[in-house]
Structure 1
Amino acid sequence: MKLLVCTLLIILLSACSQTPQSSTVQVGTRPYYLINTMQPSALKTQLQACSEGPFYRTDFAIGHRGAPMQYPEHTKESYLAAARMGAGVLECDVAFTKDQELVCRHSQCDLHTTTNILAVPALAAKCSIPFTPAKNGQLAQAKCCTSDITLAEFLTLKGKMDGANNQAITVDEYLNGTPNWRTDLYASNGTLMSHKQSIALFKQLGVKMTPELKAPQVSMPFNGFTQAQYAQKMLDEYTEQNVPNERIYPQSFNLADVKYWIEQNPEFANNSVYLDGRDETSQLDPNDPDTWQPSMTALYNDGVRILAPPIWMLLAVDEYNNIVPSQYALAAKAAGLKLIAWSLERSGPLVNGGGYYYQSVSEVINNDGDMMKVVDVLAKDVAVMAIFSDWPATVSYYASCNNMPASI
């Protein structure tokens, strides 16, 4: 009898140890809401059939700044939520402080909209542009940068939901600018993190890591700190904590940064990600190859292996009003480039076409459920390797339902 009991116990423990991620991932109610609002289709039926899971962690879901739809971006709370929702990769956008330490912030100069710095007089006084109230038709303004303060000072701040009230006449009014489709319910005590702290947390969570080197908003070199030193320091902090290079996906909108990593850190070459933001600096047309400078082939020949554009650049609408891959997406794949899309759940409700992220398919987007159609085309037709999301549960639900690979 004892032998039978022991044998059963071993079997149970073995089964539990083989599925730790499926037992801890919780997708919450949002994926169900999105699926329920879809128009009747084979995709809707398939997704509904997966309602009871199991759900698991997958590298197809990248926590974009964590889970900032409801938690202050780049905070410990946001990262923990993203991991719980099944994100197999988490992002720390990397900026530097006055004492040249690296921290997780989407922009070097966003502290006035993403933290409580303006409510801390001693630190508000150090901001590049102090708070100025709205007056006589002029909007309220402020500019507070990580490079205005030290790491120690940065870590005393609290993260809040990104937003500002530009009509404000007081600091409290200015800080009260969260978009109405987000929430402040979990935004009163966001824990800010240094880059090193994020690495330690991500190791503890067992996720892969995708740091983004943010463009400096001060002249470089900054007190002797060069762009190359900045790019190298970001990678060095992973080496110092013994993170295997294959678990790191360094990214930048600056192609020169990506080329630096490829040339100077070849162990990271295949995982280095070129974030394509050329639509903001040129007249890039996803269906006109003449506007892609450099071309897909040129990028590949320079050593780039992963290209990450916004969602809209990967999609088009065909003559039958179906969402299909853009010429940009097809050309990238033909050149041998892997693709990552950004950023799902970054827009508000999609009833009016979805805004920036859906501009190429806005004519066929009219409700939140269409987000799942977009994910399906990105996954099956564009064949992206991953999707950045502000609410990773949406992506991990889809990935689990389609038996996509689990995160290792």
Structure 2
Amino acid sequence: MFHPLRAALRPAIRTFATAVFVAALAAPAAAETGVGGIGSIEIGPRPFHLVDQMKDGPLKDELARCEGPFAAKAFSISHRGAPLQFPEHTREGYLAAARMGAGVIECDVAFTKDRELVCRHAQCDLATTTDILARPELAAKCSEGFTPADPASGRKARAKCCTSDLTLAEFKSLKPKMDAANPDATTVADYMNATPRWRTDLYVDRATLMSHKEYIALVKSLGLKFTPELKAPEVAMPFDGDYTQDAYAQQMIDEYKAAGVAPSDVYAQSFQLRDVLYWLKAEPAFGAQAVFLDDRDETGKGFDNMKPETWTPSMQELADQGVKILAPPLWMLVTAQDGKIVPSRYAEEAKKAGLGLIAWSLERSGPLKDGGGYYYQSVKPVIDRDGDTLTLLDVLARDIGVIGVFSDWPATTTFYANCMKLD
């Protein structure tokens, strides 16, 4: 149990932490100094709010007693920056994640028309993550221009604008926005104006898109680690005649080598096993900790996280091919049993095969009062409040032994890792 005086003071403590955090965000780039290149770590009020929302019990009591100072932790992985509030893959989002103690920062890597690498969640997401549709000269270059919704036929609004439609200079001229689109829109303005209520547009005007090289320079200056994800191309490969998948995979690694980044600081990722196997063969120093992102639940082949016969390849087959780290969505690693969240068969078999585990992505589901959606689907019967975020995180860390967790708001994973004295 926590002391009543501490409980009484907590609102004032949180207000002070919030003020410090906001001040840190407003600090100029020249202030990116100190331990880890970022100065002191400030987690703000959200982790404490989540503790307050937890079900009563020993874990809530333990976390309620946890106090700073807090340090950056490799367990805390920034998912696309800090997209709970900041446009994803922007300089400002990366800095927010670093100031919240993320020890590892992610850049999803796509390529432009002139074969430069940039940070974008998907190669063809520019219509939902930038202002490209409001820029006629650039919208004209989209693979598919804006098509309005047609209620009579049931057609949904859509557009397809890819990084490979633009040069790096054109890409950099775009302004980012929160990732969202209104499928029922009949105008471009309505299509773009779709940010969920539980996110915010407060920081959109100040956000800056990043090339992969710029991301490397920033994260290196902060003294943090990298997790670049090679995105599956949405255009035919080889691109433009001779740009192959292997050339794309190699270019990403080459940019770390050119920047003098140690392979041990880079966790290269891909949903395509072929990329991980390529790095293991062509760049073994980087391949040694490459991450195979597992989305086999989305292939329509009957994946079940409790039935090994539905996993192809098996855990042991992955290990035998040299894969060291496996990263599935949160729900694959857990199941509900006797009213509690417990490790799934998938998690148990992965550990048995000697695979390290990373989970994605915490705090991406919005409010959890209705069960948490996709990321919590295997434990929906026992999820009914935002505090269950920390309950799930505890099972992932303590019972399963994951080596890291992606979060859309890294303060939460930083808080937990410090409280539990994780790396």
Give yes or no for contact 1:21–1:57 (8 Å, CA) kept in 2.
no
**Identity of matched residues, %:** 59
Is 1:158 matched with 2:175?
A: yes
Give yes or no for contact 1:246–1:268 (8 Å, CA) kept in 2.
yes
Residues of 2 paired with 1:203 and 1:24: CA distance? 17
Q: Kindly state the Cα deviation for residue 19 of structure 1 after the two structures are TM-superposed.
A: 6.4
The Cα RMSD (Å) is 1.4
Q: Kindly state the Cα deviation for residue 18 of structure 1 after the two structures are TM-superposed.
A: 9.8
Of residues 110, 119, 133, the one that matches 2:148 is 133
Q: Kindly state the Cα deviation for residue 205 of structure 1 after the two structures are TM-superposed.
A: 1.2
Give yes or no for contact 1:67–1:73 (8 Å, CA) kept in 2.
yes
Residue type of the alignment partner of 2:106? E
What's 2:55 paired with? 39
Residues of 2 paired with 1:268 and 1:57: CA distance? 23
What's 2:78 paired with? 63
Residue type of the alignment partner of 2:100? M
Q: Kindly state the Cα deviation for residue 39 of structure 1 after the two structures are TM-superposed.
A: 1.3
Of residues 329, 334, 337, the one that matches 2:355 is 337
Is 1:303 matched with 2:318?
A: no
Q: Kindly state the Cα deviation for residue 401 of structure 1 after the two structures are TM-superposed.
A: 0.8
| SS of residue in 2 equivalent to 1:211 | strand
Q: Kindly state the Cα deviation for residue 321 of structure 1 after the two structures are TM-superposed.
A: 1.6
Residues of 2 paired with 1:206 and 1:352: CA distance? 39
| SS of residue in 1 equivalent to 2:288 | helix
What's 2:197 paired with? 180
Q: Kindly state the Cα deviation for residue 171 of structure 1 after the two structures are TM-superposed.
A: 1.3
Give yes or no for contact 1:310–1:341 (8 Å, CA) kept in 2.
yes
TM-score (norm 1): 0.93
Q: Kindly state the Cα deviation for residue 188 of structure 1 after the two structures are TM-superposed.
A: 2.4
What's 2:115 paired with? 100
Is 1:356 matched with 2:345?
A: no
What's 2:88 paired with? 73
Is 1:171 matched with 2:171?
A: no
Residues of 2 paired with 1:40 and 1:206: CA distance? 38
Give yes or no for contact 1:57–1:86 (8 Å, CA) kept in 2.
yes
Residues of 2 paired with 1:273 and 1:165: CA distance? 33
Residues of 2 paired with 1:19 and 1:134: CA distance? 51
Is 1:253 matched with 2:271?
A: yes
Q: Kindly state the Cα deviation for residue 138 of structure 1 after the two structures are TM-superposed.
A: 2.2
Residue type of the alignment partner of 1:332? A
Q: Kindly state the Cα deviation for residue 189 of structure 1 after the two structures are TM-superposed.
A: 3.5
Residue type of the alignment partner of 2:138? L
Residues of 1 paired with 2:73 and 2:88: CA distance? 21
Q: Kindly state the Cα deviation for residue 21 of structure 1 after the two structures are TM-superposed.
A: 8.0
Residues of 2 paired with 1:398 and 1:27: CA distance? 11
Is 1:395 matched with 2:413?
A: yes
Give yes or no for contact 2:36–2:224 (8 Å, CA) kept in 1.
no
Residues of 2 paired with 1:18 and 1:157: CA distance? 32
| SS of residue in 1 equivalent to 2:238 | coil
Is 1:146 matched with 2:124?
A: no
1:373-408 residue CA offsets vs partner (Å, 9 max, x unmatched): 000000000100000000000000011111112xxx
Extract structure 1 runs of 4+ deviating beyond 6 A.
17-22
What's 2:309 paired with? 290
Is 1:366 matched with 2:381?
A: no
Give yes or no for contact 2:105–2:225 (8 Å, CA) kept in 1.
yes
| SS of residue in 2 equivalent to 1:317 | strand
Residues of 2 paired with 1:125 and 1:24: CA distance? 45
Is 1:192 matched with 2:217?
A: no
Residues of 2 paired with 1:162 and 1:23: CA distance? 30
1:25-66 residue CA offsets vs partner (Å, 9 max, x unmatched): 11111111111011111111111111x312110000000000
Of residues 105, 119, 126, the one that matches 1:111 is 126
Q: Kindly state the Cα deviation for residue 287 of structure 1 after the two structures are TM-superposed.
A: 0.7
Residue type of the alignment partner of 2:267? Y
Give yes or no for contact 1:164–1:177 (8 Å, CA) kept in 2.
yes
In structure 2, runs of 5+ residues without a counterpart are 1-32
Residues of 2 paired with 1:23 and 1:129: CA distance? 45
Q: Kindly state the Cα deviation for residue 179 of structure 1 after the two structures are TM-superposed.
A: 1.1
Give yes or no for contact 1:323–1:361 (8 Å, CA) kept in 2.
yes
Matches within 5 A, 1:242-281: 242-281=260-299
What's 1:26 paired with? 42
Give yes or no for contact 2:37–2:221 (8 Å, CA) kept in 1.
no
TM-score (norm 2): 0.90
Q: How many residues align?
A: 387
Q: Kindly state the Cα deviation for residue 166 of structure 1 after the two structures are TM-superposed.
A: 1.6
Matches within 5 A, 1:189-228: 189-223=206-240, 224-228=242-246
Residues of 2 paired with 1:397 and 1:347: CA distance? 19
Residue type of the alignment partner of 2:244? T
